[in-house]
Structure 1
Amino acid sequence: MKSIAHPPRVVALAFLLAIAAGTLLLVLPISQADGRPVPWLTAVFTAVSAVCVTGLVVVDTGTYWSGFGQAVILVLFQIGGFGMMTAATLLGLMVNRSLRLRTRLITQVETRSLGMGDVTSVARLVLAVTLASEAIVATLLTLRLRHAHDLPWGDAVWSGLFHAVSAFNNAGISIHADSLTRYAADALILIPVMLATVVGGIGFPVLHDVRRKARSPHHWSLHTKLTLAGTAVLLAMGFAGVLLFEWTNPNTLGPMSAADKLLSAAFASVAARTAGFNTLDISLLTPETWALHYFLMFVGGGSASTAGGVKVGTIAILVLLVIAEIRGQSDCEAYGRRLGASAQRQAITVLVLGSALVTLGTLVLLRTTDVPTDQIIFEVIAAFGTTGLSTGITGDLPVPAQLTLILLMYAGRVGTITLAASLVLGERRMPFRYPEEHPIVG
């Protein structure tokens, strides 16, 4: 029993250790392209961004870091993505198992679809999905880069592998200074990247549930249904919004053909969900598109996935709660199931604390920089949501602002799972209840 008393602390510590190891490797002269020692802040920022699969960078990954440095970064965001999926999945199983032995508690980590199988087999399945997805996408990208873009085989293989792993782990780190802008009209590059991003960001519990019950979708868990429905709505919203706000923008979609506009809008919608890649210059987007990105980045992807944010399931629960309240229903329901009161409270807690972190980070950056407010908000939400998109101000921020982003990246990546697990593990039944009263709301 006591061995799982503080699993959230283990997860948080594991990420810190990975960040420390990555920093020590990146600070070495061999990690920089010109062989000079790397400043500590640059190494720390890059290590945090990689392990937390965020994608924000203060230096150009392709030119600043050597081949060794780039390999270290790749390993870091592979560990960060795979470690997050494994930690979230296995932590949910441990919590669920402990609840069966102790009391009736429900976990927001939402891993019922995984059952109570052997922990080792679950980890192996996560590893298999990760490596298979990355291998397929890397192969497709390599062949396309070699035959359509005339890259030498060595460069094509490295670029394909790096971007495939980065995409699946929703890291958003590219070895190109312009991210994927040079491939904005190449569907055979962008579509595999989008698919890897969606698969990695949908959440392993959903993938496992769909795999087991592929022939009977009506038997999918409520978590799977909410995540898939919420993801579809958000992707459609982002796609339609980018087309609407950027269609005539001469700096983004304006000069493109209709087909390329549709492709770029679809990619932007997927990337805003914590992927971090871009084919459009973020700094040239309209204010309306920035505002749309605020929301998409804050929500993020699915629970127990490589994506960040407050998670699709959290927002779905809150939307259902609002709908139930508007209709005057005492129960919050969806797909013939009733949502437990604890899940509703946990969703509200995650949203409030996430909003508080974003607000606090925004205030700190406003205090320490003279950057316009809308760009600061974008940068802060990108850090918290581990998205990695930027309007181009990251490398020019002062030290206090960069340290703030480091804390936001770590809190946004590790905080959601540790918070969810802590809420479950800390839940207890009180031996008494106070008299009920209804304060005025609104």
Structure 2
Amino acid sequence: MARSRRASSSPLARTALGRLREAVNDFTTRSPSRFAILVFGSLIAVFTFLFMLPAASADRSWTPLADAFFTAMSTICVTGLATVDMATHWSFFGDVLVVLGVQIGAVGVLTLASILGMVISRRLGLRAKLVAASDSNPLRVHHGPVAEGQAVRLGDIGNLLLTVVVSLLVIEAGLAVLLFARMIMDGIAWGEAALHGVYYSAMAFTNTGFTPNELGLERFANDTWFLGILIIGVFLGSIGFPVIFALKRHLIRPRQWSLHVKLTLVTTLILLVLGAVAIVVLEFNNPRTFGRMDAGNTVFQSLFLSMMSRSGGFATIDISELNSSSLLVLDMLMFVGGGSASTAGGIKVTTLAVLVLAAFAEARGRQEITAFGRRIPGDVIRVAISVFFWGATIVALSSIIIMQITKEPLDRVLFDVISGFGTVGMSTGLTEELPDAGKYVLALTMFMGRVGTVTLAAAVASTSNGRLYRHPEERPIVG
């Protein structure tokens, strides 16, 4: 025993251990995006096993692998789609796994790792700052100086991590208290109101959209107070932690907001209003949805649906009863999603804003793309185009495969695929009917939607390197 202890403490062992530790640190610093995929995949594997256990199901039976894997993916990716009845299939332990999983998925594994490191060591080293920085902004270049124009500077990463923890706890606690009070006023038992208040608050802020009730939000379909609280929770979760961090510091001084904050808030509000207007116009005479409501309730329900289609996932109506034109509008809203470094999915509102600004600048013949008195550099536009292209490619390929598997029409398949890619959670009912092969395809679509575009953006930014030569220029015909 003494000999083995001396052997383990030998210079050779210490050197091997040191090399392994250095290799891990180097990997996480050089390629945080790959590290994120590795950790995400590991978490999904662990949660899949836990969801399969008899203790996680209400009837104490083993959950099939396809359903457990899909639920784990939907939970960690904060999507909200389900192949089982979330209100009746899972036990209390299963519900705890769901709430815990969405918290991990909402914060982000790199941010969570940095927070744990900061708690354990009571400090945040340069490596941890770089890793956390890549989670808050994939445009950061990991092999060079960090631009001071970033949404959150490297020196503020520690404060940002504290903001993530505090906002997660405070906002969800506030939402839970408000929802609890409302449910008590509706005559719901104290114990049920408390549990459901915590559940709904977590699903709202994380933009997941699971409901603990068998009939979903049908019980609260006409409760504007309850639905209004959910709108606030989804909005705060969808704007992103860097925006919350900026608003905490300069709430009443908009001039000090960064371009990222301004673009996120303005684009979010524009999409919210335009989406609601489109839904009113397309659904006001549909007797299966809003045709039976008065004007005021129609406007409110349209705002609710517009907000939830951005990534919230809650619904007070049967999505399959919407007109095909309305489904297409929701497809576009879901594809865009919420803000960067938020609990929402999609290609992000700032990506859309940059592409629209680039299109208007080109139409006006301007060489520079500007917004709010700031010039947007070319590398940001290049990443925005890449994110849009790969997002559309993922949706197209997934839709083709699922259509081939299920033989379902395009509008149903496209809606559920974009809902999965945008981590929204709304469904026309197709997801529950999917065979196992379709479940795996849609689960991978959720995974790519949650981490794929961010990983791509990080890869594009980090692989930019200077060259000592330039190729000859030639202009192809475009358009």
Would the TM-score normalized by the shorter structure come out above 0.5? yes
Q: In 1, distance between residues paired with 2:391 and 2:422? A: 9
Asked whether the equivalents of residues 422 and 450 of structure 2 are also in contact (C-alpha less than 8 Å), the reply is: yes
Amino acid at match of 2:85: D
Question: What corresponds to 1:112 in structure 2?
Answer: 150
Question: What corresponds to 2:161 in structure 1?
Answer: 123
Q: In 2, distance between residues paired with 1:265 and 1:111? A: 37
Map of 1:39-438 to 2, 5 A cutoff? Answer: 39-83=64-108, 86=111, 90-91=133-134, 103=144, 112-117=150-155, 119-148=157-186, 150-438=187-475
Amino acid at match of 2:273: A
- Aligned match for 1:6, one of 15, 31, 40: 31
Q: In 2, distance between residues paired with 1:97 and 1:239? A: 35
Map of 1:25-36 to 2, 5 A cutoff? Answer: 25-36=50-61
Shift, 1:354, TM fit: 0.4
Amino acid at match of 2:134: L
Shift, 1:191, TM fit: 0.7
18-27 vs 358-367, which moves further: 18-27
Q: In 2, distance between residues paired with 1:303 and 1:193? A: 20
Secondary structure of 2:255's match?
helix
Asked whether the equivalents of residues 93 and 116 of structure 1 are also in contact (C-alpha less than 8 Å), the reply is: no
| RMSD (Å), alpha carbons | 2.0
Q: 1:113 to 1:225 in 2, by over 3 A?
A: same
CA deviations over 1:137-161 (Å, ceiling 9, x no partner): 011111111112x111111111111
Shift, 1:269, TM fit: 0.5
Asked whether the equivalents of residues 200 and 307 of structure 1 are also in contact (C-alpha less than 8 Å), the reply is: yes
Shift, 1:219, TM fit: 2.2
Q: How many residues align?
A: 436
Secondary structure of 1:114's match?
coil
CA deviations over 1:402-437 (Å, ceiling 9, x no partner): 111010000000112222221211111121111222
Shift, 1:49, TM fit: 0.3
Bigger Cα Rg: 2
Q: 1:251 to 1:244 in 2, by over 3 A?
A: same
Q: In 2, distance between residues paired with 1:237 and 1:85? A: 34
Shift, 1:116, TM fit: 2.4
Asked whether the equivalents of residues 139 and 457 of structure 2 are also in contact (C-alpha less than 8 Å), the reply is: no
Shift, 1:187, TM fit: 1.2
Asked whether the equivalents of residues 272 and 296 of structure 1 are also in contact (C-alpha less than 8 Å), the reply is: yes
Asked whether the equivalents of residues 93 and 111 of structure 1 are also in contact (C-alpha less than 8 Å), the reply is: no
Question: What corresponds to 1:23 in structure 2?
Answer: 48
Q: In 1, distance between residues paired with 2:325 and 2:168? A: 35
Q: In 1, distance between residues paired with 2:34 and 2:335? A: 24
Asked whether the equivalents of residues 36 and 110 of structure 2 are also in contact (C-alpha less than 8 Å), the reply is: no
Amino acid at match of 1:39: P
Secondary structure of 1:248's match?
coil
Q: TM-score, normalised by structure 1?
A: 0.94
Amino acid at match of 2:154: M
Question: What corresponds to 2:16 in structure 1?
Answer: none
Secondary structure of 1:338's match?
strand
431-440 vs 76-85, which moves further: 76-85
Amino acid at match of 1:43: A
Shift, 1:345, TM fit: 0.5
Extract unaligned runs of 5+ from structure 1. Answer: none
Amino acid at match of 1:389: M
Q: In 2, distance between residues paired with 1:420 and 1:176? A: 38
Asked whether the equivalents of residues 274 and 387 of structure 1 are also in contact (C-alpha less than 8 Å), the reply is: yes
Q: In 1, distance between residues paired with 2:109 and 2:293? A: 38
Q: In 1, distance between residues paired with 2:381 and 2:350? A: 11
Q: In 2, distance between residues paired with 1:365 and 1:97? A: 36
Q: 1:48 to 1:331 in 2, by over 3 A?
A: same
Q: 1:416 to 1:22 in 2, by over 3 A?
A: same
Shift, 1:36, TM fit: 1.1
81-90 vs 137-146, which moves further: 81-90
Asked whether the equivalents of residues 8 and 418 of structure 1 are also in contact (C-alpha less than 8 Å), the reply is: yes
Extract unaligned runs of 5+ from structure 2. Answer: 1-24, 113-130
Q: TM-score, normalised by structure 2?
A: 0.87
Asked whether the equivalents of residues 85 and 305 of structure 1 are also in contact (C-alpha less than 8 Å), the reply is: no
Q: 1:95 to 1:182 in 2, by over 3 A?
A: closer
Shift, 1:377, TM fit: 0.5
Amino acid at match of 1:127: V
Shift, 1:97, TM fit: 7.9
Q: Percent identity?
A: 39
Amino acid at match of 1:361: S
> Runs of 4+ in structure 1 displaced over 6 angstroms?
93-98
Shift, 1:176, TM fit: 2.2
Shift, 1:84, TM fit: 5.8
